[in-house]
Chains A and B, each alone.
Chain A
Amino acid sequence: MTYFEFLNEHGITLLLGTVTTVKVLVCSMILYVIISMIFGLMRLSKNPVIQGTATVYIEFFRGTSLLVQLFWAYYVLPFFGISLEAFTAGVVALGLNFGAYGAEIVRAGILAVPKGQWEAAYSLNFTPAKRIKRIIIPQIFPIILPPAANLTVELLKATALVALVTVVDLTFEAKQINSITWLSAQCFGTALIIYYIMARFALVPFLRWLEVLAARKVGKEKA
């Protein structure tokens, strides 16, 4: 069987899997961005309860393995009466895990905003909410986007794990085709190439574009 015959026969299946992978990626990306914003801010709170909650959350999700969290969400939560669909469990586990890493990036970004900006906001008598929303948050994007871009590429790679909790994504399809045809080089090789194309020619250019956009917004033109 030549490679073209292989693609002819199984290409559609792999592409359908790719669509699911993209869905998982987009959903978990939205979730992790929201979570990291909330917990990044909580981490800087002066209230020990709020700060403690955020610290425990971050340390917990960064300290355990993503695969363990996925399996926990899918196989153990039903013990407590919470049955999640495979797709939901996958997205929630990915979002919570990467949200913990993202929160640390947001925290570092907020701390990196020059002190003069805080002082200026104080002296203009802005309310705390306005200070964060209008002055600090818009300025953190050029700082946090480069590390967040790395994290998002890691997220794309991590979406492969949801196949292990029976989400029918690209990895799942590749495994499935492998067990039927035993053309391992073809199916896993194709899957690797599809992941590479998604990361290199779609996700990374998109994130670079966001970086340029954010830099322009605060008046720092990027070459």
Chain B
Amino acid sequence: MEMGWRWDFTYEILPQMAIATLNTILAAGVGYAIALIVGLFFLLAQRTPSKIFNWVNREIVEFIRSTPLLIQLFFVYFVLPQFGITLSAWVCGMITIGLHFGTYMSEVYRGALEGVSKTQWEACRALNFSTIYTYRRIVLPQAFPIAIPGMGNYLVGIFKDTPLLSTIGVAELFHAATAVGGYNYRYLEPYTLVGIIFLTLSIPAAMWVRKLERDVNISQGKMKK
């Protein structure tokens, strides 16, 4: 076997890797969208009048947050068919990522809502605003910038966790690299390419999140240009 980097092999596998990259981006995007919505449900379920319900919900969130995503993936993928629910690897992966990161999103939302000063609520009460109006016009616009860094970080976080999907057979970038590597018995170029592709996507994404954070802060008058 030839040692060292082989450019011809790199060019040969590049188109395959590019297509798989699109799958990775798609998986991250869909997973993120689900996580954003699931997070809202977890947030609402922790703020109900029933104390027991809130507690149960918190424990569920705590459980999902402190167990590995990898085993959760296996659990969903292998256990659901035992109950007669057979889903494709893609659907299983998206559900699991959505649930897992949804619990993190709910914490981001909660932190943001609690970050809005209590006096804001009192002022709205004094002005006789309705609860919905208070949320829509006063609380949420102030909570949003607090939530931005967390939300952005988890977008990058989900993107970096998508390779786990390859373990249940989702054809994303890492899966493609493993397949190509196994077929040609060369892992150097495929895995290195995966690393480079991740770097070139996630560093700009992280920079964009930081810029977004600044922009929102400026538009809220919290930071000077």
Contact = CB atoms under 8 A, between A and B. Distances in A.
Interface of A: 59-60, 62-69, 71-72, 75-76, 79, 153, 156-161, 163-164, 171, 174-175, 178, 184-185, 188-189, 191-192, 195-196, 199-200, 204
B195 interface: yes
B127 interface: no
Given A153-B66, A185-B82, A72 B74 contact: no
B188 A175 contact: no
A157 B195 contact: no
Given A63-B198, A63-B199, A76-B191, A160 B68 contact: yes
B128 to A, nearest CB: 38
26 contacts: A62-B206, A63-B199, A64-B160, A64-B195, A65-B162, A67-B163, A67-B174, A68-B191, A68-B195, A71-B187, A72-B192, A75-B187, A76-B192, A157-B66, A157-B67, A160-B70, A163-B70, A164-B70, A174-B71, A175-B74, A178-B74, A178-B78, A184-B79, A184-B82, A188-B74, A191-B71
B114 to A, nearest CB: 16
Contact of A71 (B63, B160, B162, B191): B191
B194 interface: yes
B161 interface: yes
A171 B164 CA distance: 13
Nearest to B80: A184
Given A63-B203, A67-B174, A72-B192, A79 B3 contact: yes
Interface of B: 3, 62-63, 66-72, 74-75, 78-79, 82, 160-164, 166-167, 174, 178, 181, 187-188, 191-192, 194-195, 198-199, 202-203, 206
A196 B75 CA distance: 14
B203 A59 contact: yes
Nearest to B194: A68
Contacts, number: 109
Contacts of B191: 68, 71-72, 75-76
Q: Which of A65, A160, A188 has the most CB of B within 10 A?
A: A65
A173 to B, nearest CB: 11
A199 B67 contact: yes
Q: Which of A62, A157, A163, A204 has the most CB of B within 10 A?
A: A157
